[in-house]
Amino acid sequence: MISSSTLHPEPAADVIPDVIQQTRRINPIGMEPQWRAPHEEPAGGRQRSPILVSRWTRTDIRSLEVSNPGSAAHHCIAMNLKCTSLSFAHAGRMLVHGRVTAGAVQITAPEVPCSAVFESPGDVLHLFVAQPVLGECFEDMFGRPHAGDIRIDNPRLAHDPALERLGQALAVSQSDDAALGKVFTDSVSLAIVSRVIARHFTAGQRQSREANALPSWRLTRAIEYVDAHLSEPIGLEDIANSTGLTRMHFASQFRRATGMRPHEYLLRRRIEHAQHLLLTSKHNVLDVALSCGFLTQAHFTTVFKRLVGETPHCWRMKANVDR
């Protein structure tokens, strides 16, 4: 393999700042002007991305109602980046009412209207995928063209650890790191679409494996229990008891339903609650840590930085500047 340095000599030091600024300007992931309205790429000489990627984020804790008539030419893949509370309707039918975990994925076919009422802050990536891309991914995967257009019309929420990791990788590509650019974003986006195609056309096999996933009513009980006891020490047995299952049965079924272990979910909810407190209260970092069930500020800071990418203090300063 020929290295990129062989093809493109390293730029002079005085040119690097300009290159970085240009990379930031052409970052293909933009903030959506409206919910599920794709961020349009700027006009110019660049080749248009095969998949449009936009990010919809809100930090307001007040209720917000949004709607979209549906794209005429694109499937919309929605990837939830953080836990949120909402009501979501697809083609006029209510699909979700309550808590949605980070990593949840929802797919809407073209020309299908959707609406939602967000009851808490949210952060969602939307991938808008045209028919030719679906066809190419299918042919690459199965070695033959698909007969006719591909329409993915199962709108139910899905939990797939592989898709979650890919979505997180896309979210990271919005940072100021100049090394993350269009090629990276296009590659990860195509990997997401390929994974979606694979899941769609092997659904029968997957459903047999997921038959023993935690039922939605038990999952709701577990989530409600966690949310009600975030400031307290919580063990696996405590959460399992809230659902009426043994620890072993609960842990395995919870992971099948959400794609994550109960302990991992608990840590994420603690950190998301901490972010809410850091943003809306004047508590110091130690008080926030104790309010979220952490015994020490050091442990809280370690977990916060691992999941968020910054220390609580730095995140709070940046979040307050952006408000």
Domain locations in the chain as residue ranges? 4-209, 216-322
Q: What DSSP designation does 145 have?
A: -
pLDDT value for 210: 54
Does domain 216-322 sit in CATH 1.10.10.60?
Answer: yes
At 6, the pLDDT band (50, 70, 90 cuts) reads: very low
Residues facing residue 98 across a β-bridge: 86
pTM for the whole structure? 0.65
Say what percent of the chain tops pLDDT 70: 81
pLDDT tens-digit readout, 39-81: 765 555 445 567 899 999 988 888 999 999 998 899 999 999 9
From 99, 122, 103, 124, select the one nearest 227 (Cα to Cα): 99
Burial-class residue 217 by CB neighbours within 10 Å (0-12, 13-18, 19+).
Answer: exposed
Range picked from 31-40, 176-185, 268-277 for highest mean pLDDT: 268-277
Mean pLDDT throughout 274-296? Answer: 93
Mean pLDDT throughout 87-100? Answer: 90
From 14, 16, 27, select the one nearest 173 (Cα to Cα): 27
Range in 17-31, 64-78, 161-175 the model is least confident about? 17-31
pLDDT tens-digit readout, 256-270: 888 788 998 999 999
CATH superfamily of 4-209: Jelly Rolls (2.60.120.10)
Q: What DSSP designation does 87 have?
A: E
At 170, the pLDDT band (50, 70, 90 cuts) reads: confident
pLDDT value for 312: 93
CB 61 within 8 A of CB 121: yes
User: Backbone phi, then psi, for 235, in 5-degree steps?
Assistant: -110, 165
Strand pairing class (64-68; 114-118)? antiparallel
Alpha helices in the chain (DSSP H): 4-7, 16-25, 131-142, 161-172, 182-201, 203-209, 216-228, 236-243, 247-258, 262-280, 285-291, 297-308, 312-322
Q: Which residue has the higher pLDDT, 312 or 30?
A: 312
